[in-house]
Amino acid sequence: MRGIARLARELGVSTATVSRALNGNPNVNKATREKVLEAAQRLGYAANQAARSLAQGVTHSVGFMIELDHESTTSTDYFFMGVVEGMQAVLAAHGLDLLVLPCAKSQDNFTFLQRFVSRGAVDGMILAETRRIDRRIELMQSSGIPFVTLGRSDSGGGYSWIDLDFEGVMATAVDRLVGQGHRRIAVTVPSNDANYGTIFAQAYQDSLARHGLAFDEELVFPTRRREDDGGSLVDGLLDRPDPATAIILFYEVTAIGIYRRLAERGLTPGRDLSIIGFRGEESVRFLAPQVTCFHMSLPDLGTAAARALLAQMPLTAPAFSSGVLQRRVPLSLVPGESDGPPASGVR
Amino acid sequence: MRGIARLARELGVSTATVSRALNGNPNVNKATREKVLEAAQRLGYAANQAARSLAQGVTHSVGFMIELDHESTTSTDYFFMGVVEGMQAVLAAHGLDLLVLPCAKSQDNFTFLQRFVSRGAVDGMILAETRRIDRRIELMQSSGIPFVTLGRSDSGGGYSWIDLDFEGVMATAVDRLVGQGHRRIAVTVPSNDANYGTIFAQAYQDSLARHGLAFDEELVFPTRRREDDGGSLVDGLLDRPDPATAIILFYEVTAIGIYRRLAERGLTPGRDLSIIGFRGEESVRFLAPQVTCFHMSLPDLGTAAARALLAQMPLTAPAFSSGVLQRRVPLSLVPGESDGPPASGVR
DNA sequence: TCCTCAATTGTAAGCGCTTACAATCAAAGT
DNA sequence: ACTTTGATTGTAAGCGCTTACAATTGAGGA
């Protein structure tokens, strides 16, 4: 005999009483409860999770599905760890376990998610790297399991998401550059199919429009998260009749290639070409002159996601707030020396 | 009625037959099996995980416990993600789910682990960031659940671990430097309590001894994973009667601070001070001259860990190989220009 | 003294799935 | 024609826990 039954026999009470004592049910004599808890402690007892889930119909755990993809932002340990830290803290405070579920890039992410969801392995789900069109969202909606996405998508109806405030960042960056006198502002966008690329590009267009600046498709450069892409970029920017004087980078690492090529051409970042990075990354912290970029609290992002999820979970949702929550987490500008007024005689 | 019972009724067979069909039990008529599979597919059925685990006494999932610590090695660029990639692939190929379990730094990691283990939430466990003395190992051993650690420890008896080949790296680095003519070789070691610090330091001593070089405690510098620590280091190295001419870095980022300070002193890396980094990190890839360092395949590390675990799991263990597996994953030298013969007139 | 009621505990029916064992049936053997 | 045998399916007993409901007990009230 094992598990709760063993405890029950040991103490001469029924399994029901043990269960109640262990679960904080008020209908247990105080003395009995203590006896049970003591014995549980002594025997190193912990309720079997499968049995518990089966009986309760609830797992007390939420999944965080991530995709293993070198190219993606969320796949850097730093980003991931930071976000998870925030999530974990909030969830743990509500008695929920966070299970990070890594999906291989080669694997179909829809099927992957479906498995966990339809098997009832989690009570809630957080999805990362949302695509512009993402079937996972409809899947989650039809499953009825609470979920939140880290990133917006065009799929599905109203659902909860947390995203970076790309619009705010872009507006701030463009405002700053325009204020410095720039008129030809280029931008890099991610070359993958994550939705943030589209959003970033759109925000760029909108910001230009707000200043009455013309949108030139040739100033939009799809780049990968590799520093090398910075080199050719510089040539593309400058070797044209109407060169750009500033650039906003989605991936900050691109700055490394840019700096290098600028140096080769005898040019100086911040003077001959103004550069603003999106999210400050560690690899770039050491560049001189320091890249002007935006910072954010990664744990806060995780916290926000976890909270949005909790708001939908029957167990924890405060009755009043259970609903769709959509929020853009702001980033704050950290001025460096990589931007400034455009050199008059460009080139 | 739901679950398997629903399917059974729908098809006019017993739940036992459905279960057998779904699980690939050979004692099912081929036609029946197809009928069942078709219906399952059509109705989007997937077995409830809790029920399955309870009945089988097995979860088909393994945990990978990590600790959330921004400061540590692991929180850099792409360590965990790479490792997880390898693990996930191997485990998935054996029908096992990988659950990454993040433990907050503030949380007691022993208790954290104990919860998952004693509740029977996983069939196997992989532990990261092993300490020199690590109670988790005894915990796992007494639990009887198969486990592997990423990193060695002095705790427990014989158990499976996978670790980096610190000894090999150190030997190669020292050999190389000595070959170039260096006699005063310094080293940085991590200032935290993870076991790899001790191992690295020991390997350093051993390698020196092999060359008959004296060990000087003053040439061992505990450093954090911050580039800043490189600066003071340079002064400590050079401003002494008997300056060091080379240094081996545990954290490669330290090179950034070193380069900076060397430049301030008008000195050149590779000429005035030879530098060899341990594991090549993204943040340092861009330094010029390029840092001589070691590279490894992160996924291979994960793969090795997963395999070592599988060898202990009754379901998957090939009868012959179920046992303790201890392996040091080698790294390969990637020569840069940060090392070379010591300048004759040092300083 | 008998009854009511609240506090506490026990009984037993599941939760959804697996699996040992029994049952059925048709093909094959004698 | 009758038994044997293998293939296939059904029956039912759990897996360890929760929980509705019934049972017990003692205190307080009529």
Q: Using one digit for the tens of pLDDT, what is the confidence trace for B98-127?
A: 999 999 989 999 999 999 999 999 999 999
CA A110 to chain B, closest CA, distance in angstroms equals 14
The share of chain A scoring above pLDDT 70, in percent, equals 95
Cβ <8 Å between A88 and B99: no
pLDDT for the residue B345: 45
Cβ <8 Å between A51 and B50: yes
Q: Chain A residue closest to B89 (CA)?
A: A104
State how far the alpha carbon of B133 is from the alpha carbons of B156, B159, B195, B198, B225, in Å: 9, 14, 8, 12, 22
Is the pLDDT at B270 greater than 50? The verdict is: yes
**What gap in Å lies between CA A69 and CA A82, rounded to an integer?**
17
What confidence tier does B328 reach under pLDDT thresholds 50, 70, 90? Answer: very high
Considering CB atoms only, which of B52, B121, B227 is closest to A49?
Answer: B121
pLDDT for the residue A326: 93
pLDDT for the residue B316: 60
CA B332 to chain A, closest CA, distance in angstroms equals 21
A315 touches strand D (CB under 7 A): no
Strand A220-223 versus strand A185-190 pairing type = parallel
Strand A124-127 versus strand A61-68 pairing type = parallel
pLDDT for the residue B176: 97
What confidence tier does A346 reach under pLDDT thresholds 50, 70, 90? Answer: very low
Calculate the angstrom distance between C1' of D7 and CA of B309.
Answer: 38
Cβ <8 Å between B47 and A100: no
The least confident of A288-292, A321-325, B209-213 is A321-325
In eight-state DSSP terms, residue B270 is T
Cβ <8 Å between B99 and A104: no
Calculate the angstrom distance between C1' of C7 and CA of A93.
Answer: 32
A263 touches strand D (CB under 7 A): no
What residues in A contact B103, CB-CB < 8 Å? 88
DSSP string, A77-110: HHHHHHHHHHHHHHHHHTT-EEEEEEEETTS-HH
Rounded to an integer, the average pLDDT of B33-42 is: 94
What residues in B contact A302, CB-CB < 8 Å? none
What residues in A contact B92, CB-CB < 8 Å? 104, 107
Cβ <8 Å between A76 and B79: no
The least confident of A298-302, B70-74, B326-330 is B70-74
What residues in A contact B116, CB-CB < 8 Å? 97
The share of chain A scoring above pLDDT 90, in percent, equals 75
Rounded to an integer, the average pLDDT of B248-258 is: 92
The least confident of A295-299, B37-41, B310-314, B326-330 is B310-314
Helix, strand, coil % (nearest 5) of chain B? 45, 20, 40
A118 touches strand D (CB under 7 A): no
Is the pLDDT at B347 greater than 50? The verdict is: no
Query: Hey, what domains does chain A have and what are their CATH numbers?
Result: 4-47 (1.10.260.40), 61-159+298-330 (3.40.50.2300), 166-296 (3.40.50.2300)
* Contacts (Cβ under 8 Å, ≥6 apart) of A228: A257
Considering CB atoms only, which of A116, A119, A227 is closest to B47?
Answer: A119
B234 compared with B347, residue with greater pLDDT: B234
Is the pLDDT at B344 greater than 70? The verdict is: no
Burial environment of residue B93 by CB neighbours within 10 A (0 to 12, 13 to 18, 19 or more): exposed
The least confident of A119-128, B120-129, B156-165, B228-237 is B228-237
What confidence tier does B11 reach under pLDDT thresholds 50, 70, 90? Answer: very high
Considering CB atoms only, which of B45, B80, B102 is closest to A88?
Answer: B102
What confidence tier does B282 reach under pLDDT thresholds 50, 70, 90? Answer: confident
pLDDT for the residue B319: 53
B282 compared with A214, residue with greater pLDDT: A214
A94 touches strand D (CB under 7 A): no
What residues in B contact A121, CB-CB < 8 Å? 49
Decide: A95 and A160 in contact? Cβ < 8 Å. Answer: no
Is the pLDDT at A320 greater than 60? The verdict is: no
B49 touches strand C (CB under 7 A): no
Q: Chain A residue closest to B74 (CA)?
A: A77
CA B150 to chain A, closest CA, distance in angstroms equals 17
Residue with token string 């429009």: A209
A23 touches strand D (CB under 7 A): yes
Give the best residue of B97, B113, B224, B303 to mutate against chain A (max A CB count within 10 A). Answer: B97
How many residue pairs from chains A and B have C-beta atoms closer than 8 A? 137
The whole-chain average pLDDT of chain A stands at: 91
**What gap in Å lies between CA B256 and CA A317, rounded to an integer?**
48
Q: Which nucleotides of D are covered by protein (CB under 7 A)?
A: 7-12, 14-20
Q: Chain B residue closest to A113 (CA)?
A: B97
Give the best residue of B7, B52, B62, B68 to mutate against chain A (max A CB count within 10 A). Answer: B68
pLDDT for the residue A318: 57
Beta strand segments in chain A, E: 61-68, 97-104, 124-127, 147-150, 161-164, 185-190, 220-223, 246-249, 274-279, 292-295, 326-329, 332-334
Strand A332-334 versus strand A292-295 pairing type = antiparallel
pLDDT single digits (tens) A227-247: 777 888 999 899 989 999 999
What confidence tier does A284 reach under pLDDT thresholds 50, 70, 90? Answer: confident
Q: Chain A residue closest to B118 (CA)?
A: A46
Q: Chain B residue closest to A52 (CA)?
A: B50
What confidence tier does B267 reach under pLDDT thresholds 50, 70, 90? Answer: very high
pLDDT single digits (tens) B63-98: 999 998 755 544 455 788 899 999 999 999 999 999
